[in-house]
Structure 1
Amino acid sequence: MGVDVKICGLSDEAAVSAAVEGGASMVGFVFFPPSPRFVSVERAAELTKPVPRGIIRVGLVVDADDDWLADITANAGIDLLQLHGNETPERVHGIRERFGLPVMKVLGVLEVKDVIAAARFEGVADRLMFDAKPPVGATRPGGNARAFDWSLLSDIKTKLPWMLAGGLTADNVGEAVNISRAAAVDVSSGIEDAPGRKNCDKIAEFLAVAAAL
């Protein structure tokens, strides 16, 4: 039956086409300037325009203020906001209400209490993503190509749809899904030749493996 896949950190037309043609359910664009995958609102608008209906265009932000969110939501061609910072449930609710788009809250995971904390976002977020907590001293959020103990998610009780992220590749996504029971996964660094440089062959391979799960 396969699992849904979000290809994140897209910044060029070839990679967007590879994601679309390979069957991605979501395509993600990073609006966080310190990231090597950052795209401007104007560039994102160019990249999202040809994406067919039915594929969700996701905008990743990190503790963004309302002015930045207003620009992104009005001009970048985004269908869903991915909140990858330290947003509280109250902030998530406020963003969802003010900007009228569904939101996906990302939660860093290191131990079981991090998974239990997901309950705080029920009723305010539309989706969740579980990613590895960044290493100490990291300047960017997320797993930074690191995985976490997938078994922590195997008995998750949340009522929200959720995705697994963090260190996934074509070689380990099958094991990750088998252990975590995830119905959807997110990949970025695992389909790159270098940070921010997507490899279209790796995108196609990852999507083919995920479709066969």
Structure 2
Amino acid sequence: MVRSEDQNRLARERSRESILLAAIDAFAERGVAGASIAEITARAGVSQGLVNYHFGGKAQLIGAVIDRWFATMLNLAEPGDTPDATLAAIIDGALSATVYAMPLQRAVLGMQQQPATHRLFAESEERHADATTAGEDAVRALFRARGAADPALEEIMLRSTLEGVFMKYAVYGDTYPLEDARRWVHRLYGLPEPTSPLAPDAPPRAADPRPRAGGALREPSET
């Protein structure tokens, strides 16, 4: 049976998305240098030639992964009814991404820091410059509405705090008290205590939390 143009378009979109998701997982697990096109396409269940067809090569695929990260980070929270509600949504949206978008976050964290891929990150940042600036300005306006003396610095420090929480969680995994960190950030900004956890199925907090990287040494069945 001959497929319609719409069916062909959907098939192309699915194969492109499969490659992109496989690349995110491979880059998160093995790093950009350690993840080959052969491994990525095997994970995606497609032929290697489709990477060139959809992206143009490995560098462009890396750029597409970074673009996905920017798109995710720039659409985390809906505005609330008040500045406080909006700020709480921003905090919770960013920390939810730490839980639910960990492979993407981990992959791009490495790309930000490695000299071989930092330029690709900078190029993606340029592609999203207008949206990034608009997001920064919105948060700065939020702090201005809350009476901050230096809204620009408040925005930078909020971002630095949330990125720091993510980096620690990426290293220490479930031994890092993410929910407690979230509530600490809420208190830092004088926001109401959250009424529900970020991740309902997260393990309970240890009585004496001590983040350790040793979780990575456990077998998958033990996590």
Q: TM-score range by the shorter chain?
A: under 0.3
Pick 1 or 2: higher relative contact order, CA cutoff 8 A, min separation 6: 1
Greater percentage in helix = 2
Of structures 1 and 2, the larger Rg is shown by: 2
